[in-house]
Structure 1
Amino acid sequence: MRKLFLITVVLILTCTGFAQSRKNEVGIQADNDSFLGQGSDRYYTNGIFIYYRHALKVSEGGTKLKNKVLGFEAGQKIFNPQSGSIPSVDYLDRPFAGYLYIGSTLNFLYSNESNLKFGAQIGVVGPGAGGKEIQEDIHKWFGFYPPTGWEHQVHDGAELNLSAEYNKLLTRGNGIDLTFNSYGNLGNGFTGAGAGLMLRAGNFNQLFNSVSTQSTASNIDSKSALHQHEFFAYYKPALNYVAYDATIQGSLFNAHNNPQEVTLDREPFIFSNQIGGAYTANHWVFDVSVIFHSKDVKQMVQLHQWGSVTVLYRF
């Protein structure tokens, strides 16, 4: 009995230690315009992403760097025109395209509640991304109409894309805070930059250990957080400059001499709004939001919007 008691105590202490630090997290994110219940199937119509993040050790003697998170991810995005089934090429107001990639990120989070996040992705835009096949399968599973028009999709191109992100807390008080957000992309698939703000209201933690900066994987004892469980709403408006987008313009270095391939020119400036809510409970992290975008392409007959759901498990 004594040995059993000691083993039980050790296990409880071990599990408690893991619960406090939660150095790892794994999860999934799903994006889809059908989440909004409007019956739409246009533009950025589906995205699926898998994440794994691990909090790296931070020097105890350091006073500036508070958290450091290494991440790995894989994902796919699918784009189609105003409908996934077009009667003719005249209705193609945004190209059919798929983007499939794997990538890694390194997130440096500082005690002054700023962070620098660097990322790299390798992938493919075009038939090799499997957008056509996945959309056909999804429509078949749920009894939707059969997609048509994918013979006009953007053709294959290998992609290498780099990214950097910077966020900084501006002010906080009475359950509300305001953060400056910015990012830059550079690559033969996606090049551009953007800046905006994030307004949070509710029970949120510091930006070095929060859903808002993808830093819920942490070596920080949860007892030092502002709240044991985050539960807040947020609003993120942003202005984005698009220098190049391979899902619209096709591969940067490939010749576009196939008569069936349809590419268009991008709109250089896009305004976006994201409204959502986040909740963390022990091992679980939830983030649900709605994103509204202005037109990616001048020919688009409507604006577009979609829903996003993220679920992570920390351990």
Structure 2
Amino acid sequence: MMRYLKIFILASFFIPKPGSAQRIDQTASFRNMAGDKYVRLHYDNDFFAKSDYYYTQGYSFEVVTPGLSKNPLNKLLLQKGRSTHYGLAFEHYGFTPTSISSDAILYNDRPFAGAIMLKSFRISVDTASKTRLVAILSTGMIGPAAFAGKMQQKIHSWTGDRDPKGWQYQIKNDLVLNYEIQFQKQVFNFKNAVALNTETQVQIGTLNNKAQAGFTLRLGKFDSPFKDAPVQLARNFQFYIYNQPLIGFNAYDATLQGGLFSTHNPYTLTGSQMNRVTFQDNFGLVIQCWRIYLEYYQSFLTKEFQTGMNHCWGGIKVGFLL
């Protein structure tokens, strides 16, 4: 067992990390906070990876509290285990092609697209089997209603950058209704200093249909996300790095191919242009001290369509236990 763990450690940490088909992931096991009541802000930007194309920006604000157990949508969320956290997350992000300087459609490039949604989620932990089941229901809109273009234009005006062109060709308004299941299982944990667990994710709906599978490795000082222990804030200090390589299988992506219900989009990619298999890697640093949660990470994603390119971006998270 230790021999295979050493091989995996060496392999995972020497994978190039210039980082995800999963853009914003609040519920990964390595992002577990030491309590059942907290708020957390997440911000992504490809500026952190010195690029300026494809997934250009995203942010979310999440709230987890026992009071959200009364959310009627929870009846649609699967559960496994007795320890349960309930949450809501507001999420917004945008995509651009490789250039925002042209007023013409850039064929064989990524379409302009924006998405805005509200996520209801439940995290349930089975402490006996060391597993976590996460169920997420996302509702919202893709298209101009998500105001991603207007936001990018406003940010560029604040920063003095060139005015982005081409948003008139973005994917048209359509409904976002997606269901996601994540299953995480602990494989190995040595004194909360080295831990390995498997990751499986499946997403079905109008935004995307895809699956991902891989591993998460953590090194440092941390609490296990697979146990249900009382929170001791005075002793809550965690410091660790993580690496998460994932293989993705993509059947459909509305930000590339257009929504299921809208027609006559100015420009989209066809199914034959899609890469059905992708590789992503997330690598980051987390610090938790008393009530504060801080995280910085980098993400890498291989090209999602045949004429595309690999892409990188970075992100930060700031959370606070209530």
Q: Please state how far the C-alpha of 1:192 moved relative to its aligned partner.
A: 0.9
Which residue pairs with 1:191 in the alignment?
A: 209
Structure 1's consecutive aligned runs of 4 or more residues displaced over 6 angstroms after TM superposition are: none
Which residue pairs with 1:264 in the alignment?
A: 269
Report SS of the residue matched to 1:198: strand
Q: Check if 1:116 corresponds to 2:133.
A: yes
Q: Please state how far the C-alpha of 1:22 moved relative to its aligned partner.
A: 4.3
The separation in 2 between residues aligned to 1:65 and 1:55, in whole angstroms, is 16
The separation in 2 between residues aligned to 1:44 and 1:224, in whole angstroms, is 36
Q: Please state how far the C-alpha of 1:83 moved relative to its aligned partner.
A: 2.4
The separation in 2 between residues aligned to 1:193 and 1:57, in whole angstroms, is 28
Q: Check if 1:304 corresponds to 2:311.
A: yes
Report SS of the residue matched to 1:161: strand
In the alignment, which of 34, 37, 40 is matched to residue 24 of structure 1? 37
Indicate the RMSD between aligned Cα atoms, in angstroms: 2.3
User: Does the CA contact (< 8 Å) of 1:67 and 1:208 recur in 2?
Assistant: no
Which residue pairs with 2:112 in the alignment?
A: 96
Gaps of 5+ in 2: 1-33, 70-79
Q: Check if 1:173 corresponds to 2:186.
A: no
The separation in 2 between residues aligned to 1:54 and 1:170, in whole angstroms, is 29
Deviations 1:150-187 (A, max 9, x none): 11111110111000000001112262111100110010
Deviations 1:116-165 (A, max 9, x none): 00010111111111111011011111111110011111111011100000
Which residue pairs with 1:42 in the alignment?
A: 53
In the alignment, which of 224, 243, 265 is matched to residue 235 of structure 1? 243
Report SS of the residue matched to 2:175: strand
The two structures have a TM-score, normalised by structure 1, of 0.82
Which residue pairs with 1:222 in the alignment?
A: 231
Report SS of the residue matched to 2:259: coil
Which residue pairs with 1:3 in the alignment?
A: none
Report SS of the residue matched to 2:150: helix
The separation in 2 between residues aligned to 1:283 and 1:171, in whole angstroms, is 27
The separation in 1 between residues aligned to 2:101 and 2:116, in whole angstroms, is 22
The separation in 1 between residues aligned to 2:170 and 2:204, in whole angstroms, is 23
Q: Please state how far the C-alpha of 1:86 moved relative to its aligned partner.
A: 2.9
User: Does the CA contact (< 8 Å) of 1:56 and 1:68 recur in 2?
Assistant: no
User: Does the CA contact (< 8 Å) of 2:186 and 2:226 recur in 1?
Assistant: no
Q: Please state how far the C-alpha of 1:303 moved relative to its aligned partner.
A: 1.1
User: Does the CA contact (< 8 Å) of 1:28 and 1:50 recur in 2?
Assistant: yes
Deviations 1:55-94 (A, max 9, x none): 4799xxxxx9463110101111100001233353236610
The separation in 2 between residues aligned to 1:142 and 1:113, in whole angstroms, is 47
Identity across matched positions, percent: 28
Q: Please state how far the C-alpha of 1:247 moved relative to its aligned partner.
A: 0.4
Q: Please state how far the C-alpha of 1:46 moved relative to its aligned partner.
A: 0.2
The separation in 2 between residues aligned to 1:230 and 1:56, in whole angstroms, is 27
User: Does the CA contact (< 8 Å) of 1:41 and 1:84 recur in 2?
Assistant: no
The separation in 2 between residues aligned to 1:148 and 1:86, in whole angstroms, is 6
